[in-house]
Amino acid sequence: MQKYSCRHIKLQAVERAFSGFFPLLRIGFIENLKQESYETFSGKLELCFRFSAEGTEMTDVVNGVACKTPFPNIFLKIPTMHQYSMCDSLRDVIYFYYDASLYERMLACGLISPPYIWHFQMTRELASIFGRIRELCEHVLEYGVVDQLDLLALQLFQNVLLKRVHPAGNVYEQSVEARIRRIASYLQLNFNRAVSLEELYKRNGFSRRSFFRHWNQYYPVSPWQYIQELKLDYACNRLRETSMPIGEICSELNFKNQHYISSLFKKRFGITPMQFRKEHCLRDTDAGAN
């Protein structure tokens, strides 16, 4: 039988370089746990990850309500909770423990909401975060390391919650939304280049008809209007924040000439680009083109 091991890293007294985050009190790594049942009383604020290579599920009774959750699973323990857990298989646990006084702040930020126990899939991204946390725990008293652990724990928190509360109701819909948003993300990064929309939607597995149908489910404007809005927003920022000539802005955005950008501004704002600059220029900032 493998030996049970437990490491608790206390962080409460470790000096932080920054304030304003959700500081951890401690991180725990428990391996080969064989405790068949245990009781936890209220007062905890903890994000707990539970894994088992031999077991299939964990039984928890929370405030008198029993539930069974497949491994791996997450248990978000909150101060108002009374818990009784049962499992007869070996398991590993990684937990992140916070001061219970942070409960209201986390609640207000949307980090805490039911269900409090749920099954999750271990992804490469999560594995990478866990790996980085383990590495940093070996250097926890070095300057700035505890701040990194606070941020990584929060990233972990947000990652699993985003996957849990995804609005799409099934795998197909999640796939469609992900591909549409991947296309929109590409446009965000490449709006000032010549973009082949046909090549883009085909590369993401859409026909022309299905692409436009699904695009309209998530965005209120057409893809071309979306690109135009991105270009106008960029032009506005350049006019507001720099002294870059309008001709150079046109060149950056692949507009054919200054007359074209002027017509867009008049249609959208009722004024020319030069008038926009005069009215909105941030004169107290650096007038460079960076």
pLDDT at residue number 289: 46
**173 band by pLDDT with thresholds 50, 70 and 90:** low
- CATH number of the domain that residue 244 is part of: 1.10.10.60
Q: Are residues 140 and 51 in the same domain?
A: yes
Q: Are residues 115 and 40 in the same domain?
A: yes
Q: Are residues 119 and 193 in the same domain?
A: no
Q: Are residues 199 and 264 in the same domain?
A: no
CB 136 within 8 A of CB 149: yes
Count: domains in the chain:
3
Q: How far apart are CA 259 and CA 118, in angstroms?
A: 57
290 falls within a domain = no
- Please determine, for residue 13, whether its predicted confidence score (pLDDT) is greater than 60: yes
Alpha helices (runs of H) in the chain, residue ranges in sequence order: 103-108, 124-137, 145-164, 171-190, 197-203, 208-218, 223-241, 246-252, 258-269, 273-280
Q: Helix or strand or coil: residue 133?
A: helix
**What mean pLDDT is predicted for residues 254-271?**
92
Averaged confidence pLDDT in the chain: 90
286 falls within a domain = no
- Please determine, for residue 34, whether its predicted confidence score (pLDDT) is greater than 70: yes
- Where do we find the tokens 């702040």? 105
Answer whether 0.75 is exceeded by the pTM: no
pLDDT at residue number 273: 95
Q: Are residues 104 and 124 in the same domain?
A: yes
54 falls within a domain = yes
HEC-encoded secondary structure of 54-97: CCCEEEEEECCEEEEEECCEEEEECCCCCEEEECCCCEEEEEEE
Token pair listed for 241: 């924040």
Q: Are residues 35 and 159 in the same domain?
A: yes
**170 band by pLDDT with thresholds 50, 70 and 90:** low
Q: Give the domain-ending residue among 164, 183, 212.
A: 164
289 falls within a domain = no
- CATH number of the domain that residue 77 is part of: 2.60.120
Q: Are residues 96 and 234 in the same domain?
A: no
Query: Looking at per-residue confidence, does 288 or 164 come out higher?
Result: 164
Q: Are residues 114 and 235 in the same domain?
A: no
- Please determine, for residue 248, whether its predicted confidence score (pLDDT) is greater than 80: yes
Q: Are residues 15 and 145 in the same domain?
A: yes
Range of the domain at 190: 171-220
Of 290, 208, 189, 178, the closest CA to residue 243 belongs to 290
**What mean pLDDT is predicted for residues 169-193?**
84
Q: Are residues 31 and 140 in the same domain?
A: yes
- pLDDT tens figures, 107-146: 999 999 999 999 999 999 999 999 999 999 999 999 999 9
250 falls within a domain = yes
288 falls within a domain = no
- Please determine, for residue 288, whether its predicted confidence score (pLDDT) is greater than 50: no
Q: Are residues 140 and 86 in the same domain?
A: yes
Query: Looking at per-residue confidence, does 124 or 290 come out higher?
Result: 124
285 falls within a domain = no
**174 band by pLDDT with thresholds 50, 70 and 90:** low
For the chain, percent of residues with pLDDT exceeding 90: 75
CA torsion 1-36-153-137 (nearest 10°) is -40
100 falls within a domain = yes
- Torsion angles phi and psi, residue 47, rounded to 5: -105, 115
Q: Are residues 90 and 139 in the same domain?
A: yes
